[in-house]
């Protein structure tokens, strides 16, 4: 089933190191992604380098939490995804819940951060806040991903629901037939 019936939007999602270390929590968050109609365009498990973290969080440089955030994000493997669905940025941010875990617990119970966030730094997940941010963030972790090419060549298949899902790679792929996709 596809939630890209009108037009897919892309967003970047990160499952932070403390999530990937606990198998049942990790699987629960993955299930949440799929159960909420997201399609996974790209998927990678990586230990984020200091260089990547500094590039990714450049807007926070100089803030009191910057070094703590970089140290945590580089502390172990994270899962990084490009997710697609209609209104993906808004929907992923709603599913994650507020950035501040304390706020998430009381104002958005049942969200990923309310359930699995530990602190404001270890808040379980990251999600892009705008289309511009999403494309910049995607380029940090998927430098060879061309979003313009994806929208031209792949998005019509995702929108039409002509995708399969590889559970072992946690990624959707297009199912192309001889019939063109409108």
Q: Provide the CATH number for the domain around residue 49.
A: 3.30.70.141
Report how many domains make up the chain.
Answer: 1
Alpha helix stretches (DSSP H) within the chain: 17-20, 23-35, 50-56, 66-73, 88-96, 101-107, 112-116, 131-141, 147-153, 155-159
Residue 122 in any domain: the answer is yes
Determine whether the annotation assigns residue 99 to a binding site: yes
Determine whether the annotation assigns residue 65 to a binding site: yes
Q: So which residues are the catalytic ones? A: 126
The continuous run of DSSP H or E covering 166 comes out as strand 163-166
Nearest to 133 by CA among 49, 34, 55: 55
Residue 129 in any domain: the answer is yes
- Whether 54 and 166 have beta carbons less than 8 Å apart is answered as no
Residue 78 in any domain: the answer is yes
Residue 179 in any domain: the answer is no
Determine whether the annotation assigns residue 113 to a binding site: yes
Determine whether the annotation assigns residue 146 to a binding site: no
Residue 158 in any domain: the answer is no
The continuous run of DSSP H or E covering 44 comes out as strand 39-46
Residue 65 in any domain: the answer is yes
Report the predicted TM-score, pTM, of the whole model to 2 decimal places: 0.93
Residue 44 in any domain: the answer is yes
Per-residue pLDDT of the chain in tens (182 residues, 90 and over written 9): 445 546 799 999 999 999 999 999 999 999 999 999 999 999 999 999 999 999 999 999 999 999 999 999 999 999 999 999 999 999 999 999 999 999 999 999 999 999 999 999 999 999 999 999 999 999 999 999 999 999 999 999 999 999 999 999 999 999 987 565 55
Residue 74 in any domain: the answer is yes
Nearest to 127 by CA among 97, 170, 171, 172: 97
Q: Which residue has the tokens 């109609």?
A: 37
Determine whether the annotation assigns residue 16 to a binding site: yes
Domain that holds residue 66: 9-145
């Amino acid at each position: 089933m596809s939630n890209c019936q009108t037009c897919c939007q892309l967003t970047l999602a990160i499952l932070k190191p403390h999530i990937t270390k606990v198998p049942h929590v990790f699987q629960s968050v993955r299930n949440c992604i799929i159960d909420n109609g997201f399609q996974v365009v790209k998927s990678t498990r990586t230990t984020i380098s200091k260089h990547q973290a500094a590039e990714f969080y450049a807007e926070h440089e100089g803030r009191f939490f910057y070094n703590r955030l970089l140290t945590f994000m580089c502390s172990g493997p994270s899962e990084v995804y490009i997710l697609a669905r209609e209104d993906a940025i808004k929907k992923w941010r709603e599913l994650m819940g507020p950035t501040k875990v304390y706020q998430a617990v009381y104002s958005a119970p049942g969200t990923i951060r309310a359930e699995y966030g530990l602190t404001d730094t270890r808040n379980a997940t990251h999600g892009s806040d705008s289309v511009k941010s999403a494309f910049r963030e995607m380029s940090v972790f998927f430098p060879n991903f061309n979003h313009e090419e994806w929208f031209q060549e792949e998005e019509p298949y995702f929108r039409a629901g002509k995708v399969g899902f590889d559970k072992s790679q946690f990624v959707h792929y297009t199912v192309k037939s001889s019939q063109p996709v409108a």
